[in-house]
A and B are shown apart, each in its own frame.
Chain A
Amino acid sequence: MHDQRMGIDSASTVQTAGLLERETALDSLEATLVAARAGEGRLVLVSGEAGVGKTALVRHFSDRSAPLRVLWGTCDALFTPRPLGPFVEIAEGAEWLRATLDRGGRAHDVVTSLLGDLTADSPTILVLEDVHWSDEATLDVLLLLGRRVASVPLLVLATYRNDELASDHPLRRVLGELGRSRATVRLALEPLSQDAVVSLAAPHGLDAAAVYAVTGGNPFFVSEVIAAGGDVLPETVRDAVLARVALLGPRTTALLEAIATLPPRAELWVLEAMVPESLVELERCLGSGILTEELHAVRFRHELARIAIEQSIAPNRRVDIHRRAFAALESPPAGEPDPTRLAHHAEAALDAEAVLRYAPAAAARASSLGAHREAAAQYARALRFADGLPMSARADLLVGHSFECMVTTRDEDALASTERAIECYRQLDDRLKHGRALTWRAQVQMNCGLAPAARQTALDATAVLKQVAPGHELAIAFCVLAGIALLSEEAGETVTWATRASDLAARLDDSEASLNALALSGAAAGLRGALEGTAQLERALALARESGYENQVGRDHVLLAMAASRERSLARMERYVQPGIDFCDERDLDVWGRILLATRSWLELERGDWQAAADTATLVLSQDCTLSCTQARIVLGLLRARRGDPDPWTPLADAADVAERTGLLWWTSQVAAAQAEAAWLEGKPAAVAGATAAAFARALELRSPWPLAELAYWRRRAGIEEEIPPDAGGPFAFQLNGDWRRAAELWREAGCPYEECLALSEADEEDALRRALDGSLRLGAGALARIVSRRLRDRGARGVRRGPRRATRANPASLTARELDVLALLSDGMRNAEIAERLFLSRRTVDHHVSSVLRKLGARSRGGAVAAAKRLGVLEDR
């Protein structure tokens, strides 16, 4: 039925071309499967340009791995992909997964189902194709799998195009995080060599050198050129595909165009409704190899072919095809219509009414699945068609858009939509919604670091809300004002607003607002170091958790971590930071999760785990979010300064810009202290006075003990003679008074090795200075080490080490000083409780150190860690 050339060439050439020169890649895949069989799963990132043969490779590998179970899911090439699209596809043949998705399961539920369905004796291969198109929830699944895969019999093969990843592509962040895991394997596929192209093209009488020149060795392009035949070589992939399709005859066109507008796969029932008269051509298209068959569906064998066809459709017919796709999808033979797909076709069909019907529904669905980026895009889509809507409906869409933008930390977009919504409600004179939107805007402004503006907006909100019967909205506006006062460290004002909120909440019997107020007034005392305040905040947190006020739970974790962080109470930080991150991750509370992640980088820095601090800070910076990025920049600046690495000043200057804009001591004091420390380490004490002046003055006004002591300390160390502020508190206050010995002890107890060295470096006795030097070298604190060793040599000390070389050599796993202590006791066979007692640490902290030691040594047991440490020579050197 079709000519001989197609019968022989197309399908087989595509496959042959896709597998030429792939022996090494297949060997790598085989090795990962061997590991997965042993219960040590792997996540393989298969990358390469479009058409290089990623699918062909993965398909061939999974076919030859039969009878192993293969789960195959493809990400949609829709402008706004379906949430969890690949898993929806997998679920069609997997009851256990369908049940999870039908329940509205999110990323972590999908992972739980998946891991729960693995069998120990036979590994599963999970293929996720084209993850450069994946929705946010699918990326979350990928991340979670990356963390868990190492200990389960699972092989994840994720393919993506690396030629189309912009620097801010969401996949980049995920790749960055996955890349740090030992269980991740990267497989980059290169185009074919000239020899391979010759071997493919020569048998067809084609000028092989010319084919190579035009295709660059891209296997898909090569196979299309061969399949297209003809005397003139097509110059682009598109030309090649269209030439080849022309051979199939004009009657196939309508069918192929319909399939091309239904990525990633066209169900037969949709095609039946769309192009009933052309379905007879399906066999011919399948035979030519341009299409491939799936369960009740077909798709283009290659995405490049689909795009070529889609782009060749004339604009007027494109609208018509999408209209027919929309009509077909709106009445499926079973189940509910899919709003994401309908919104996509409605927009392409320029059907405003249909967009407004389905895009908000698609947004709500995406949001509930944690795909907030897609939700924001669906609201934006609806807004593009919303000119004819009543103003109130448009304003509601704007609020939805603003919320999704804020959750995904797109602060500026969130702010813009909020302002437009406020204007609508104002014109409509809808005071309740107007006041509520103003309250929301104040919160967004706080997240953008615009504290003074936020305060004014929140005051405006209360003014508007007082014009209607006082209700929940007004109570929340009071809470927002209390929150702003809290971060401004105005304890009195915080309590005033919190009290007004809680009085109103009591009258309304509004437990959410009442717990919110309880938390804020507790935090105000906690931030000033009052333990009863922290206890109150903890109580509010527990109650909010019981009542399911998730946003508040996330926020309260942040407040608790802040109070602990200011006092360098690392043990308390441990209690809130990671559990808070886990809580927020599972519920997509990015706003709080990102801040907590940034706080974790600070915790890691202070704990002496600098590698982790750098990794975490870098991870935070991969997503644009004003406040968490500011915290990460402070950590990065300090880290570079302490290590003696280049360029501590750029991140600190960026952080200073934001800090200044907020005018909050919380930020200005951190930045000023970091800049002062960096200047001092670089031997430029003259810069300290200017860097600290404003923050120091503010700390004096607010009488905030810790920032006051730290800033005064750096000023004194830079040679500024001034009175010691009476309110100064914490170990820095001892250093200010010359008691470095007591300060060093306190820092040691707090678990802050760098600050301990810093205190010891002030000593005028050789023994303490040597301890400072050893400690600095062990941390990799090159800058402080240089300063201390110079002091030692000036004193005439002998045999002073100059560099970190020996420490690094002796400690290949880059364990921290504390972890080395723990490891030594582990090797004596001590239990965690005994180690805790010996080292004067909490059980929890020791648990943490032990798991960190295991991770760094790549060991799964304590015995394994000790063996690995001996092998690496970490233990003998002590």
Chain B
Amino acid sequence: METYVILRRGGWRTADDLRDAAERSTAEGERMPDDVRWIRSYVTAETDGRVGTVCVYQASSPEAIRRHASAADLPVDEIVKVADTVIVRPDPATVAA
């Protein structure tokens, strides 16, 4: 599997909408365990008050990411392949939404 960053900027109106989407994402991910693995996401605060995400996934192909997104009804602005990972510090503690 390759690692990808997926931009879903301003995909949701509210944090609740995003939570629903995260549930769908998990459920659909379980249906295709050999093709996509959700690693982590950063929730973005957009200027228009909406929320979006920058997600890190491992996937068998860009098509698998698209399929997962379409099944879980998640927007995709852009998929970028990750060439290498540099971890300087662990992720900061989760902020309550």
Query: Shortest beta-carbon distance, A219 to chain B, in Å?
Result: 22
Taking CB atoms and an 8 Å cut-off, the chain B residues in 45-97 that contact chain A are 61-64, 66-67, 70, 73, 75-81
Question: A618: CB under 8 A from chain B?
Answer: yes
Taking CB atoms and an 8 Å cut-off, the chain A residues in 166-196 that contact chain B are 172, 175-176, 179, 184, 186, 188
- Binding-face segment, A150-158, A209-217, A803-811, A828-836: A803-811
Q: Kindly list chain A residues whose C-beta atoms are within 8 Å of the C-beta of B73.
A: 812
Query: Shortest beta-carbon distance, A776 to chain B, in Å?
Result: 14
Question: A6: CB under 8 A from chain B?
Answer: no
* B70 lies within 8 A of A805 (CB): no
**Majority secondary structure of chain B interface residues (helix, strand, loop or mixed):** mixed
Cβ proximity bits B1-42 to A, threshold 8 Å, 1 near / 0 not? 000100001110000000000000000001111100000000
Q: Kindly list chain A residues whose C-beta atoms are within 8 Å of the C-beta of B66.
A: 611, 614, 643, 645
Pick the contact of A636 from B9, B32, B63, B76 — CB < 8 Å?
B63
* B81 lies within 8 A of A646 (CB): yes
Measured in the bound complex, the distance between the Cα atoms of B35 and A176 in whole Å is 9
Pick the contact of B63 from A175, A184, A618 — CB < 8 Å?
A618
* B79 lies within 8 A of A805 (CB): no
Measured in the bound complex, the distance between the Cα atoms of B64 and A148 in whole Å is 24
**Closest residue of chain B to A639, judged by CB?**
B63
Query: Shortest beta-carbon distance, B34 to chain A, in Å?
Result: 8
Q: Kindly list chain A residues whose C-beta atoms are within 8 Å of the C-beta of B80.
A: 646
A611 with B75, Cβ < 8 A, contacts A179-B31, A636-B63, A805-B10 known: no
* B61 lies within 8 A of A618 (CB): yes
**Closest residue of chain A to B8, judged by CB?**
A805
Pick the contact of B67 from A615, A782, A803 — CB < 8 Å?
A615
Question: A761: CB under 8 A from chain B?
Answer: no
**Closest residue of chain A to B77, judged by CB?**
A803
Pick the contact of A646 from B4, B30, B33, B34 — CB < 8 Å?
B4
Q: Kindly list chain A residues whose C-beta atoms are within 8 Å of the C-beta of B33.
A: 186, 188
Taking CB atoms and an 8 Å cut-off, the chain A residues in 756-802 that contact chain B are 782
Query: Shortest beta-carbon distance, B15 to chain A, in Å?
Result: 17
Pick the contact of B62 from A175, A188, A647, A805 — CB < 8 Å?
A647
Q: How many of A's residues come within 8 Å of B, CB to CB?
A: 28
Measured in the bound complex, the distance between the Cα atoms of B32 and A188 in whole Å is 12
* A804 lies within 8 A of B81 (CB): no
Q: Kindly list chain B residues whose C-beta atoms are within 8 Å of the C-beta of A41.
A: none
Q: Kindly list chain B residues whose C-beta atoms are within 8 Å of the C-beta of A186.
A: 30-31, 33
* B81 lies within 8 A of A647 (CB): yes
Number of A-B residue pairs having CB atoms within 8 Å of each other in the complex: 57
Measured in the bound complex, the distance between the Cα atoms of B63 and A623 in whole Å is 17
Measured in the bound complex, the distance between the Cα atoms of B34 and A188 in whole Å is 12
Q: Kindly list chain A residues whose C-beta atoms are within 8 Å of the C-beta of B78.
A: 644, 782
Q: Kindly list chain A residues whose C-beta atoms are within 8 Å of the C-beta of B30.
A: 186
Measured in the bound complex, the distance between the Cα atoms of B64 and A17 in whole Å is 37
Query: Shortest beta-carbon distance, A642 to chain B, in Å?
Result: 12
Measured in the bound complex, the distance between the Cα atoms of B60 and A617 in whole Å is 14
Query: Shortest beta-carbon distance, B76 to chain A, in Å?
Result: 7
Question: A814: CB under 8 A from chain B?
Answer: yes
Measured in the bound complex, the distance between the Cα atoms of B60 and A176 in whole Å is 12
Measured in the bound complex, the distance between the Cα atoms of B15 and A448 in whole Å is 54
Q: Kindly list chain B residues whose C-beta atoms are within 8 Å of the C-beta of A617.
A: 63
Pick the contact of A805 from B34, B63, B77 — CB < 8 Å?
B77
Question: A640: CB under 8 A from chain B?
Answer: yes
Measured in the bound complex, the distance between the Cα atoms of B36 and A196 in whole Å is 31
* B62 lies within 8 A of A646 (CB): yes
Query: Shortest beta-carbon distance, A487 to chain B, in Å?
Result: 29
A808 with B31, Cβ < 8 A, contacts A611-B66, A645-B66, A647-B81 known: no
Q: Kindly list chain B residues whose C-beta atoms are within 8 Å of the C-beta of A611.
A: 66-67, 70
Measured in the bound complex, the distance between the Cα atoms of B61 and A643 in whole Å is 13
**Closest residue of chain B to A184, judged by CB?**
B31
Measured in the bound complex, the distance between the Cα atoms of B33 and A211 in whole Å is 30
**Closest residue of chain A to B64, judged by CB?**
A618
Query: Shortest beta-carbon distance, B67 to chain A, in Å?
Result: 7
Q: Kindly list chain A residues whose C-beta atoms are within 8 Å of the C-beta of B11.
A: 805, 809
Query: Shortest beta-carbon distance, A240 to chain B, in Å?
Result: 30
Q: Kindly list chain A residues whose C-beta atoms are within 8 Å of the C-beta of B79.
A: 645-646
Measured in the bound complex, the distance between the Cα atoms of B30 and A186 in whole Å is 8
Cβ proximity bits A604-646 to B, threshold 8 Å, 1 near / 0 not? 0000000100110110000000000000000010011001111
Q: Kindly list chain B residues whose C-beta atoms are within 8 Å of the C-beta of A175.
A: 34
Pick the contact of A179 from B32, B70, B75 — CB < 8 Å?
B32
Measured in the bound complex, the distance between the Cα atoms of B80 and A645 in whole Å is 7
* B77 lies within 8 A of A814 (CB): no
Measured in the bound complex, the distance between the Cα atoms of B67 and A183 in whole Å is 17
* B31 lies within 8 A of A809 (CB): no
Q: Kindly list chain A residues whose C-beta atoms are within 8 Å of the C-beta of B75.
A: 804-805, 808-809
Q: Kindly list chain B residues whose C-beta atoms are within 8 Å of the C-beta of A643.
A: 62, 66
Measured in the bound complex, the distance between the Cα atoms of B11 and A812 in whole Å is 12
Q: Kindly list chain A residues whose C-beta atoms are within 8 Å of the C-beta of B76.
A: 804, 808
**Closest residue of chain B to A636, judged by CB?**
B63
Q: Kindly list chain A residues whose C-beta atoms are within 8 Å of the C-beta of B9.
A: 803, 805
Taking CB atoms and an 8 Å cut-off, the chain A residues in 807-850 that contact chain B are 808-809, 812, 814
Most B Cβ at <10 Å: residue of A639, A646, A809, A814: A646
**Closest residue of chain B to A617, judged by CB?**
B63
A804 with B67, Cβ < 8 A, contacts A186-B30, A647-B62 known: no
* A614 lies within 8 A of B81 (CB): no
**Closest residue of chain A to B66, judged by CB?**
A614
**Closest residue of chain B to A812, judged by CB?**
B73
**Closest residue of chain A to B70, judged by CB?**
A814
Measured in the bound complex, the distance between the Cα atoms of B78 and A803 in whole Å is 9
Measured in the bound complex, the distance between the Cα atoms of B32 and A201 in whole Å is 36
Q: Kindly list chain B residues whose C-beta atoms are within 8 Å of the C-beta of A814.
A: 70
Q: Kindly list chain B residues whose C-beta atoms are within 8 Å of the C-beta of A176.
A: 34
**Closest residue of chain A to B65, judged by CB?**
A645
Measured in the bound complex, the distance between the Cα atoms of B79 and A647 in whole Å is 10
Cβ proximity bits A232-263 to B, threshold 8 Å, 1 near / 0 not? 00000000000000000000000000000000
Q: Kindly list chain A residues whose C-beta atoms are within 8 Å of the C-beta of B81.
A: 646-647
Taking CB atoms and an 8 Å cut-off, the chain A residues in 58-95 that contact chain B are none
Measured in the bound complex, the distance between the Cα atoms of B31 and A636 in whole Å is 23
Pick the contact of A645 from B32, B34, B62 — CB < 8 Å?
B62
Measured in the bound complex, the distance between the Cα atoms of B28 and A179 in whole Å is 11
Query: Shortest beta-carbon distance, A632 to chain B, in Å?
Result: 11
Measured in the bound complex, the distance between the Cα atoms of B10 and A172 in whole Å is 37
**Closest residue of chain A to B61, judged by CB?**
A618
Query: Shortest beta-carbon distance, B56 to chain A, in Å?
Result: 14
Q: Kindly list chain B residues whose C-beta atoms are within 8 Å of the C-beta of A188.
A: 33
Query: Shortest beta-carbon distance, A365 to chain B, in Å?
Result: 33
Query: Shortest beta-carbon distance, A446 to chain B, in Å?
Result: 29
Query: Shortest beta-carbon distance, A636 to chain B, in Å?
Result: 7
Measured in the bound complex, the distance between the Cα atoms of B77 and A617 in whole Å is 23
**Closest residue of chain B to A611, judged by CB?**
B70
Besides the known contacts A646-B80, A647-B62, A803-B77, 13 further A-B residue pairs in the complex with CB atoms under 8 A apart? A179-B32, A188-B33, A611-B70, A614-B66, A615-B63, A618-B63, A636-B63, A645-B62, A645-B63, A646-B4, A803-B9, A805-B11, A808-B75
A–B Cβ pairs within 8 angstroms, 23 of them? A186-B30, A186-B31, A614-B63, A614-B67, A615-B63, A615-B67, A617-B63, A640-B62, A643-B66, A644-B78, A645-B66, A646-B4, A646-B62, A646-B80, A646-B81, A647-B62, A647-B81, A803-B9, A805-B9, A805-B10, A808-B75, A809-B75, A812-B73
Q: Top 8 A-B pairs ranked by shortest CB distance?
A: A646-B81, A614-B63, A645-B62, A812-B73, A814-B70, A808-B75, A803-B77, A645-B79
